[in-house]
Structure formats: C-alpha cells, structure tokens
Amino acid sequence: MLNADTFVTHQKGFDGSIRNKYEDFYVEEIPEIQPTGEGPNVWIWIEKLGRTTLDVVLDIARDLHISRKRMGFAGMKDKKALTRQWICISNMESDDQFSQIENLNIHGTDFLKVTRSQKKLRMGQLNGNKFRILIRGVDDIAESADTADEVLKKLEITGVPNYFGWQRFGKPRTNTHLVGEALIHNDLKEAVRRYIGNPTEDESQENQLARQAYDDGNLEESLNLMGKGMRYEKMMIRELIKDSKKGDLTDKSYKNALYSLPKPLQRMFVHAYQSYLFNDVVSKRAEMGINSYIEGDIIIDNEEHIVRDKSTEEYQELIDNFTVNPTAPLYGTKVPYAGGAVGEMEENVLKSYGIDKSNFEVPKMPRLGSHGLRRAIRFKVWDASAIPTDEGVLTEFSINKGSYATSVLREVMKRDVV
C-alpha cells in the first residue's frame, strides 16, 4: 500500500502474486437496495472483465446517445478483475428504450439481468463486496493456505487497517495523488502536466512519447501520439489545443481542461492526496492498537455518526463488537483533530508535508476542494477463509464498502499487493 507501513498480524507472509489472470480476482457487489421490477429507471446487473466501471458507463451513454449524467452506480469496481455490479440508467420509460438497452453490445461486459426500478442508483448505495481471489506462485501451497486462514481468522477479530489501495492512486502509473498535491498547492498548470505529461518507465513506449511531447510543449504531436488507453488525457489536451489557438494558455485554460473530465475523476485527485496522507496517519495510529480505544480518539458508528460521552470501557466494548471504530482524518479545511496523543500525531503528520488545513480550499477550483472528514482506521472482514488448490491459495471474504481487498491480502502475504 502506498504510504502504509504497519501490519497488525504477526504471522510470517509468503511469496505469490494475484491478478495473473483477471478472472483470478472476482468481486461481487453486495447491494444495499434492489430494483423493484417496475418504474422509469433501468437497472443492469453487469459482469465486466478488464474494464473500469467508468469506461463501461461512458460506452453505454455513447451507444444510447444520452448524457453520462443519467448513468448511476453504487461503487467503482476494479479494472483488472472479473466483477459484478448494478448500473442504472435514469428515465428510460418506453419499451423501445428498454429493448435498445437489452441489445447493447459493450466491450468486455455482459448484461446478466436488465430490469426496471422506481428508484435511481446512487454512489455509496451498497453494503460491501464479496471477493474470491486466487494467489498463484506460492511455494508451499498447503502451509501458506493454513497461514492465510489463520491471519484471516485473526482479522475477523481485530479488523483490517483501512488503508487506501493502489486503485486510489493508479497502477502502474501512480500519479492521481500527485495531481491532487498540485491542486492543493493551487498550481493548475502543474496539476494538468502531472496528468498528461510526466512520463514514467512503467508505461508503454507509445504513452511515454505522448507524455514527453506534452512536456516539450508540443500539444498537437502529443495528441497524435496518444493511444487508446489515454481517453481522459485526450479530453484534456483537446481543451488546451482549443484555448491555445486564442493565445497563451492561462489558469482558465488549465481549469477548463480539468473540468472536461468526468466529475468522478475530477474529484478523485484531491481525494487521492487525502488518501495518501490518511494512509500515513493510519500506519501511525495502528501502531497504538488498531482495535484499542485511546483517550482522545474520535469514534464513529457504522453510519459514520460521532459517538460521544462513553466511558473508556464502554468505548472498548463497542469497538470489540465492531459497533464503532476509532478514526483518522481525511484532511480538509474543517476536519477536527482528535485529542491527546492521537491528535498531536495527526497534526504532526500534516505539518511534515509542509501544509495545513487551509490548503484544501483549492481557491482556484473550489469545487474540487474539501472540508475533510473522519474515516474509520479499520474495517470489518467476514465469511473469511483460505484453502489450498492445485493452482495456489484461494481466499474468500467479504468487506465493507469503500475498503480494499488488497489491504486484507497485504496482511496475509506481508508484502505489497497490487
């Protein structure tokens, strides 16, 4: 995990790898609500392979000739995985529209069920996700499966450090948080450069050349070199090319380029930098005890409401039952610090990056700023097990929404898991 240093289990890890095949990493959404079977909105239970949720949504909107704003989903699912989730299209009332949706042919995506609902589907409307993940390349499969099962059973008791995984930051091109860092320093030009330019060796030669052309100031050449995988870079650079024909590029030009992106992606940048800092805080807080109450902790329940006025013993009992959790800050302009030693640690982490809460205003693009919030430092894992197979160690578990399966596997394998 990026910027994450602490483990909460002590069993020895083992070698191995995941996602050798996309099908090795299976994710199924645990819905909060189900479609009603009738109504103006169409829900699609999709199975996708090797595609992001946003890619599928954009393709559906394109083929139906509708705004992407009419598309809804509860959560983003991995690209390098076989995943199932609901997607909703609002206000498709006619039978012809329903048939048109049924007959869509979206790359890498199967429609397992198409139905209607009175309600729309919104971000966050899920209870969690079920995972079935095969770890290949394990030397001693039987022994490693026993170790994995032991760790998983321990994690069911303590909880898992709630680190943000690589998906939040991008892999192999890990730059989303760097764009966010530029934004909170109010440097729009640099934010755009870090997204479009800034080539890295982990990318294809084609992409590196396109990014280098951007850094060299050759916008048209950069666009021409961009491959199919650079969909969002193309959106941005077209805006810049359009503005460059009017004169020198300005902050307004870079703002327009950023606003050309889908809103979920725009918001992801500052969120990613917040997540990067959050991982640092969780590492330090986990060293104090991931499932322990410490005087000064800000405690939240499972609906993310602050729980106050309990004794130390009462807080600890609620933590043991997973009714509440200690928190760490996703830093923002208004996020409160904890008290005591925990709060002092939280303040010192932010100071170590040379910033303070006011940086999260992002005055040049206030829509992308953040007030911040408190987030649980751990998450619950249930129905967890590991068994040996001929191909490796097969793990199964369910976790809360917004949590990362790779955080679980990191504890199991005691190494970075992507």
Q: Are 327 and 306 in contact (CB under 8 A)?
A: no
CA proximity to 84, closest of 10, 121, 40, 30: 30
Between CA 176 and CA 194 the distance in angstroms is 8
Catalytic residue flag (residue 78): yes
C-alpha to C-alpha distances, 74 to 124, 128, 263, nearest whole angstrom: 5, 10, 15
Backbone dihedral angles phi then psi of residue 254, each to the nearest 5 degrees:
-70, -35
Query: Is 274 in a helix, a strand, or coil?
Result: helix
Between CA 197 and CA 219 the distance in angstroms is 10
Query: Is 126 in a helix, a strand, or coil?
Result: strand
The dihedral region occupied by 294, where left means phi > 0, alpha psi between -120 and 50, and beta the remainder, is beta
The dihedral region occupied by 3, where left means phi > 0, alpha psi between -120 and 50, and beta the remainder, is left
Residue with tokens 């008290």: 339
In sequence order, what are the residues at sequence separation of 6 or more whose Cβ sits closer than 8 angstroms to the Cβ of residue 358? 333
C-alpha to C-alpha distances, 308 to 54, 322, 331, 407, nearest whole angstrom: 39, 16, 21, 29
Angle between helix 340-352 and helix 263-286 axes, rounded to 10 deg: 130
Catalytic residue among 15, 59, 63, 78: 78
Residue with tokens 């397992």: 112
CA angle 322, 325, 328 (to 5 degrees): 155
Between CA 380 and CA 315 the distance in angstroms is 17
Between CA 212 and CA 25 the distance in angstroms is 34
First to last CA, the chain: 8
**Running DSSP on this structure, what letter comes out for residue 319?**
H
Q: Are 397 and 382 in contact (CB under 8 A)?
A: yes
Provide the residue type at 121 as one letter: L
**Running DSSP on this structure, what letter comes out for residue 306?**
B
Q: Are 18 and 80 in contact (CB under 8 A)?
A: no
Task: Indicate which residues carry an active-site annotation.
Answer: 78
